[in-house]
Each structure stands twice: as C-alpha cells, then as structure tokens.
Amino acid sequence: MPHDFEIRRATTADVPGIRSLVKPYAEARILLEKEAVAYYESLQEFRVADKAAGELVGCGAVHVMWEDIAEVRTLAVSSTVRGLGVGHALLERLVEDARALGVKRVFCLTFEVEFFERHGFSVMEDQSAVDPAVLQELLRSTDEGVAEFLDLARVKQNTLGNTRMILNF
C-alpha cells in the first residue's frame, strides 16, 4: 500500500505540530502533556509523519534507557488518518532506530495493547526485566520513562493505567 506521507526526523519547526497531535490524547488521559521545552530537549529522539509540506499526521520517539533497552514514547496519530498505516509506519521506524542504536529490547506504556501486540510486543508480567545490577543503575535516573519502566510507585499517578509492554529482538 503506497503511503501519502513520509516518515522523517523531527525538526524544531515540528514542535508545535507534535504538541497539537499529543493534545487530544493528553485531554483523554492517554498521553501525558509536556511543556514545549521538553519536546525541544528530546527532539533528536522524534520521528514525524508528514502528509504534505508541514502537515504532521503522526509522531513518536525512541528514548534509550540503558545499553540494551529503549522506550517508544509519545506515539500519536491524527484522528484524520487513524487506520491508514501511519502508526504502523512510525512504530516500524522507531524500532529500526532502536536497533540502529544497539538496543535489544523496546519498552512502551500503552492503552493500545492490541496494536503493539500486532507489532510483536508482549505484556510485561514481572518486575524483573533487568538484571539487579542494572536496576541499581537505572534507579539513579531522573527520567520519568525509566521510572515507569521499573514500575516505581512515584510515577503511578503518571502512568494513567497504561499497560507495560516489551519487544525483544
């Protein structure tokens, strides 16, 4: 199926569009809304789906947490293109990016369990996804995504009831 959008690296000019894509999901308590500065600071982690010059229809990021694991974050698709393969193409590219960075696993927090299962992710059943020595290192991180991955109590209010999922490759 040919796409009428391209997946590309995000630029600073995309931040308002990324925030617009996230806003309805944040209002529905599916994604957390972030300040613009947070998007600029992590911009190099983002890919966007660009339907036409400047019309963003999707976004997503991959954030490395440790030598062998990264997180897919902020995967959002415009309601105008849901079901047309934008989310699939974005997730595929983010997983490719994670592989290129050298990780062996990708984690996500999601309400879209079936979507991620179709892409090979499985529900994380236990807390022991990392070696105890690595756990001690990760506990030093101030990154909220790392805390969500570890299922720490201090971020329970931020996880919105999402399901923790992982893809091993």
As a whole-number percent, the residues of the chain with pLDDT over 90 amount to 55
CA–CA gap between residue 151 and residue 165 (Å, rounded) = 12
Contact 68, 31 (CB under 8 A): no
Phi, psi values for residue 97, rounded to 5°: -60, -45
Whether pLDDT at 13 is above 70: yes
- The rounded radius of gyration (Å) of the Cα atoms in the chain is 15
> Where are the domains positioned within the chain?
5-168
Q: Which residue has the tokens 């570890």?
A: 150
pTM equals 0.82
pLDDT of residue 151: 57
CA–CA gap between residue 22 and residue 78 (Å, rounded) = 9
Contact 25, 46 (CB under 8 A): no
**Beta bridge mates, 73:** 61
Question: What are the respective helix, strand and coil percentages of the chain, to the nearest 5?
Answer: 40, 25, 30
CA distances, 144 to each of 16, 58, 97, 109 (Å): 22, 23, 21, 12
| pLDDT one-digit tens code per residue, 93-128 | 999 999 999 999 998 888 899 999 999 999 887 655
Whether pLDDT at 153 is above 60: no
| pLDDT one-digit tens code per residue, 20-67 | 999 999 999 888 888 999 999 999 999 999 997 668 999 999 999 888
Q: Which residues of 49-83 are buried (b: 16+ CB within 10 A; e: fewer)?
A: bbbeeeebbbbbbbbebbeebbbbbbbbbbeebee
Contact 55, 9 (CB under 8 A): no
CA distances, 8 to each of 30, 60, 66, 71, 153 (Å): 24, 11, 24, 19, 36
CATH 3.90.226.10 correct for 5-168: no
CA–CA gap between residue 162 and residue 123 (Å, rounded) = 11
